[in-house]
Structure 1
Amino acid sequence: MPAPLPRTLADPVDHELVIKKSRFLAHLAPVASETEADAVIAAVRKQHWDARHHCVAMVLGTHADSQRSSDDGEPSGTAGVPMLEVLRHRRLTDVVAVVTRYFGGVLLGAGGLVRAYSAAVAGAVDAADAGGGILERRTVREVSVDAPHADAGRIDHLLRDWSAAHGAVVDDPEYAEVARLRLLVPPTELETLDAELAAASAGRLRATVGAERIVDVPAHD
């Protein structure tokens, strides 16, 4: 069985941490590209123009195959990489994390900085998780069922009930010469769907399986 895909964020999330008078302001945001991530970073820099550091970590791609980090003037390896490790450990992708630091006058040392930047990002992820803001990514197949208009209401109701019980998603139907009912179905449930359709239509209806897609659903769904 393939490993589950990395997760992502539904919405931006913020978290503040104060350690020895230094303020660490973590901002995490969902992004679809490095260009979008750079725009988030620029906006944070503009908002907190008077801060000393804006450290960054980002993970991009369906399989988290693109990663980047920056210490932004902190000692090498004390900020960006620890932030990136949190995103990796929490299985997140298509997300950028920016932690802005306002120095409080007390040196934290390398170990203290690593712990602070890690904790700031972890706290933001925890806040997103607690608020239902983490999205799981699932691989599904596009499926269509062509039904006569006279049967469309009954079959549509059946497919909605079936989808709710089998982790599928009902897509928008199309109406032409026949009613084309559409679903997004987990690959493991395709045989079950065919059996359900055959039983409900005396073998007249079958599912046509189309392209593979990736969809985001709430992690606690």
Structure 2
Amino acid sequence: MGENMHYYTIEGHNLAEDTIKKSRFIINCYHVENQYEVEKYLKNIYKEHYKATHNTFAYILGEEKNIQKYSDDGEPSGTAGKPILEAINQRELSNVLVVVTRYFGGIKLGGGGLIRAYNGSACLGLKSASFIRMQYSALIEISFEYTYLGKIKAFLDKEYKLKDTIIYDDKVHVKIFIPAEESENLIRNLVELTNDNIHVSIISEEYIKLSYKE
């Protein structure tokens, strides 16, 4: 894994529309996880808007944004796909596909006008999308005697706001997601809190979705 412990993306699918000098711009923004999903959504767009003048797009994949591609789909080079890509990068997003479909309205926009139209359309679509933060997290399992329940629960409630699961058995078993970079510190604090009378293990590490508002 790279150095990125979190990244921002959008949730699901968002649709927006704008009219610029009689041209109709339809903006579809998608959360995508891989190239297959990108191609699937593009295929659907081409099928739905096969009569469109242009179906331009851009997308970024990977928590480190290592895949960035775009298409002008017949518009002058650099006037459509690249401005859409810049709109995604302006918001520091990844795993996002933005498709801007244009139905020509009879008035030419010129190079600068096209750049503004496509960038503005992409920004419009992303502005109304739901943003989420993907946090690289560790799933921690903690087992301890009931004697320490009050202390540990108070500590976890204070330090970590992610939803946890508690099972009351012969011992207390707690599962909690925390930012992966904090796992060593958590283990050290729990050991000190219980005088080493605790079992802590890291079950898995993965990206999990957190709500995010600008």
Q: Residues 193, 168 of structure 1: CA spacing in aligned structure 2 closer, same or farther, 3 A cutoff?
A: farther
**2:197 — aligned with what?**
204
TM-score with structure 2 length normalisation?
A: 0.84
**1:85 — aligned with what?**
86
Q: Residues 72, 188 of structure 1: CA spacing in aligned structure 2 closer, same or farther, 3 A cutoff?
A: same
Q: Structure 2: how far apart are the matches of 1:9 and 1:189?
A: 27
Alignment partner of 2:7: what SS? coil
Q: Structure 1: how far apart are the matches of 2:187 and 2:95?
A: 32
Q: Structure 2: how far apart are the matches of 1:190 and 1:220?
A: 29
**2:185 — aligned with what?**
191
Q: Structure 2: how far apart are the matches of 1:47 and 1:115?
A: 25
Deviation of the 1:9 alpha carbon: 0.8
Q: Residues 27, 182 of structure 1: CA spacing in aligned structure 2 closer, same or farther, 3 A cutoff?
A: same
Deviation of the 1:154 alpha carbon: 5.0
Q: Are residues 1:16 and 2:17 paired?
A: yes
| Structure 2 portions without partners, runs of 5+ | none
Q: Which amino acid aligns with 1:207?
A: V
**1:181 — aligned with what?**
174
Q: Are residues 1:214 and 2:207 paired?
A: yes
**2:142 — aligned with what?**
145
**2:110 — aligned with what?**
109
| Structure 1 portions without partners, runs of 5+ | none
Deviation of the 1:138 alpha carbon: 1.9
Q: Structure 2: how far apart are the matches of 1:69 and 1:161?
A: 45
**1:74 — aligned with what?**
75
Alignment partner of 1:217: what SS? strand
Cα deviation digits, residues 95-132 of structure 1 (max 9, x gap):
1111000100000011111100100110111111xxxx
Q: Residues 176, 33 of structure 1: CA spacing in aligned structure 2 closer, same or farther, 3 A cutoff?
A: farther
**1:161 — aligned with what?**
157
> Identity, % of aligned pairs?
27
Q: How large is the Cα RMSD of the aligned pairs?
A: 2.7
Alignment partner of 2:75: what SS? coil
Deviates more, 1:113-122 or 1:85-94: 85-94
TM-score with structure 1 length normalisation?
A: 0.82
